[in-house]
Structure 1
């Protein structure tokens, strides 16, 4: 078996190491290099930067564009604070809102086109409960091409097909680099760095889809929570992991219904009677709770309703939904003989995941994208800035890159214990040393089925405790019986390890917060009420002396005041005549 693996080890030294080549990562690398062209910046990606990450080639719109004339940073900060039940440090949100229009203009100069009106101004649409932030992208499939051109122009070193496995830390706790393994040869790579930026996406393969397909997830399935796991093992704090990502999706297709695209044209979420039951289709835990309630009622299932629209309008929606972000969606409906003009499209609830892009669960960061580990940054879907989406990944990636470059230009390269590399090599290659055992796909299926059985909301204490015990049994299998017969299976084995770490963190965080909050995301049946007196705070989870430990952290004073009555606005989404 060992003949399939290369035993080599290479060491690379750089100033700024960016891990993850999706959306935030390339922008972080670009801005780091532009901040200080003398720095050596490395962009590491386990696939290929040309077509990787949650957006693959591109997207069909910006969900959260703060454009002058439509919204202000103050308005957006208020909206996101309300959508997240007030559990928000506003400084990172406000900084994003203040910078994102500058990023939109820069992307426009890159050749990424956004929808504009007859006057040549950006043409935004209203989907959110309060403000107007959605900016369609008619040629959004060009995003990665344009971004890749900029990276090559700046001569940033790209290392494709290397999967980061652990972060290196110095004796004083500062970040010192990372360890990676080649996904085609299993060759080891040690990357020494002054600063590291994690841009590794969501934990998209945490729950199991209703279809049972391991890769049939709502999120990009290659985002398996590796960044969450690496940050945890490096001692970084992770915030509000009990605030799961759960989304409405097209049943059996497991892609988004994209109400933010179809909604401005007149489409909406409806029950089986064809009636609208929620006032806003913008994703939030409260919206998903109403969605869940309707599914469980006598008026379920739930549908995306477009068959009341003019055929030309439906055609315009199809042009966006089926040609830009997800061409497979059009083929799915065609194979089923489903026509938006004739029938409503059945929807369902996604599997759970971690993703600040759609909720608030991520590695804890401040307004400069700094984590609690000196020299370590995080941006994009894995950082704790809530409702980040693609534009948030671009903007916060830029913020991280600029700050990390500034720090890297002022410090020396940290030293680390070389024994860490030897120990990590033993851990990573252990599945390749076995002649027989459990293949990674089987262990992954078992882990994710347990997540569905015991951690999926509504959450029950006894079930989650049983889930913890069962997941501990899976970890024994992972450490003693997991087998990898080639480098590809080795990559899958490492992903399973990350998925299991995320499952353990989901259980720990959910048990720690003994209240219900964020609608369906953290609906605890045996603690059904919101408890602001004890739980109006962040919960942080970190690794201390090898153990998973949770703690409370106070919310920073608001920059934009929120009245108590405003904070509950998202709890009043149900259309009154459908109550």
Structure 2
């Protein structure tokens, strides 16, 4: 079989915020380095931040709350399941990142005293700076182009290549042409997002997810298959967003004076911040749907909220509101729980990394939503992308040896998928079935029987993929590979949920058979990795490292 071969000093998998920052930093330090980005979509509008963003969630501004204060607040938010050092390093470097972004033209508003404008989103401390920039992604891409980074768009990574305990490259597929590509790389960064396409939204639309639907858990699965450590898969995220469109509103509006009410007409008392767990719990208690109310706000404030939501966050939201004849000035805005999903940036699910963005495999780094820099949000993606770009330099003088048989095996597996034209079940129906199983068995309330039943069904679907799934073109080929990624994430989620025999993080992991939080036995990470036998998942309980 034929394939293109690319040689890189640094291969970056994913062209979002972490990937673009990593590429720029690597080229700043070594302009002659061959830095390559493989992006599954098109880099100018790909990833969770396809356009702009309204805030930098975590910034320790000098003279205010410190990086240490942030670690204390985040440890509390994570119910104690947080290694301190990565979060500390992220917060400690956050202000310098703001200054970098300002030098690139990103606007951080200041008040009349010259202090950065902030909104209250953390229960302890005040770390969130407003950043109403609708062109953030374009600014990042422009910097990538300025530094002569090589970008391969429409290129999906299908496997990481391993030599011993070191990652030495990756195989890829052009999703438009079906052509194969091999990248031999001295260092590799995985930063291609979490598992947004996991559960099915209430609309039933496979791609109508809250976060970028191109994120099908690729990075989690790639790292797992390569032998890296992962953690937090029992932490099933669920947001409360605008019903039928799955776009955010609560943080933007609540921090600017909006109020949240239950269907009983009672205001949900969350204090001066947003408590997503309280909101999801209200639904569980039969008090839904919830509503956002803004009718009491002055016109100037409503226009400010509209500008953020319609011009910066999600422009399609304005069309949605107009199409339904809805107006913040007179209408309650109905909220609904999203599908469950897995994410390190919003939650705890990710490839295990240290403060240097290093994974358990040599030469492999992780950053952004795919990494376990818990609740790091946009700041975590930027800072750990930057760190990865720095640390990757350590490998640039090394040699790479590729196992060609490993490459051939991977491309042969894809060839076999191309031969499934005569099967009967379309790819989207297989994905729908798999994600229905996820919806039915993996969210809270959890129990050993329910999770085990789901795990059995997930494994049956994985075993039957090649027998039933129909693949007729390159688009369906890419979707078929993604189904495999989603199935891996579902299996990891089920195994982690079975092994954490307690309840923690409110509705994100509630076991009816172990309804209490048990710090004495379970204040620890559930770490997963590939087992020695085919299909085996190894489970390790690892202590928390609170040392800074």
> Normalising to structure 2: TM-score of the pair?
0.97
Q: Map 1:6-405; keep pairs closer than 5 Å.
A: 8-138=2-132, 140-170=133-163, 172-257=164-249, 259-280=250-271, 287-297=275-285, 299-405=287-393
Determine helix, strand or coil for the equivalent of 2:345: coil
Counterpart secondary structure, 2:148: coil
TM-aligned CA deviation for residue 125 of structure 1: 1.5
SS of the equivalent of 2:398 reads coil
Q: Is the 8 Å Cα contact of residues 255 and 272 (structure 2) preserved in structure 1?
A: no
Is this contact kept in 2: 1:88–1:555, CA < 8 A?
yes
Q: CA RMSD in A?
A: 1.5
Change (3 A) 1:298 1:451: closer
Aligned-residue offset at 1:128: 1.3
- Summarize the Cα distance change of 1:350–1:190 in structure 2 as closer, same or farther, 3 Å threshold: same
Distance 1:398 1:145 in 2: 18
1:541 and 2:535 correspond: no
Query: How many Å separate the matches in 2 of 1:532 and 1:35?
Result: 44
Q: Which runs of 5+ in 1 are unaligned?
A: 1-6, 560-579
Residue 573 of structure 1 is matched in structure 2 by none
Structure 1 residues 105 and 520: CA distance shift in structure 2, 3 A:
same
- Per the alignment, residue 454 of structure 1 pairs with 441
Structure 1 Cα separation of the partners of residues 286 and 403 of structure 2: 62
Other structure's SS at 1:14 match? strand
Which residue, 391, 413, 422 being the options, matches 1:436? Answer: 422
Runs in 1 of length 4+ with deviation above 3 angstroms? 280-283, 296-299
1:179-206 per-residue CA deviation (whole Å, 9 max, x = no partner) reads: 0011111111110111100001010001
Shift of 1:106: 0.7
Q: CA deviation at 1:274?
A: 4.1
Do residues 487 (structure 1) and 502 (structure 2) align?
no
What does 1:473-552 align with in structure 2 at a 5 Å threshold? 473-545=460-532, 546=534, 547-552=536-541
Please tell me whether the aligned partners of residues 47 and 162 of structure 1 are also in contact (alpha carbons under 8 angstroms): yes
Measure the CA separation in 2 of the matches of 1:401 and 1:327: 32
Q: Is the 8 A contact 2:82 2:546 kept in 1?
A: no
Q: What's the CA shift string for 1:105-151, capped at 9, x where partnerless?
A: 1111111112222244321121211111222222x221111111111
Residues 509/375 of structure 1: CA separation in 2 closer, same or farther (3 Å cut) = same
Distance 1:367 1:244 in 2: 24
> For residues 280 and 401 of structure 1, what CA distance do their matches in structure 2 show?
39
Distance 2:295 2:284 in 1: 24
Residues matched between the structures, number: 545
Contact 1:128 1:280 (8 Å CA) reproduced: no
1:533 offset after TM fit, Å? Answer: 1.3
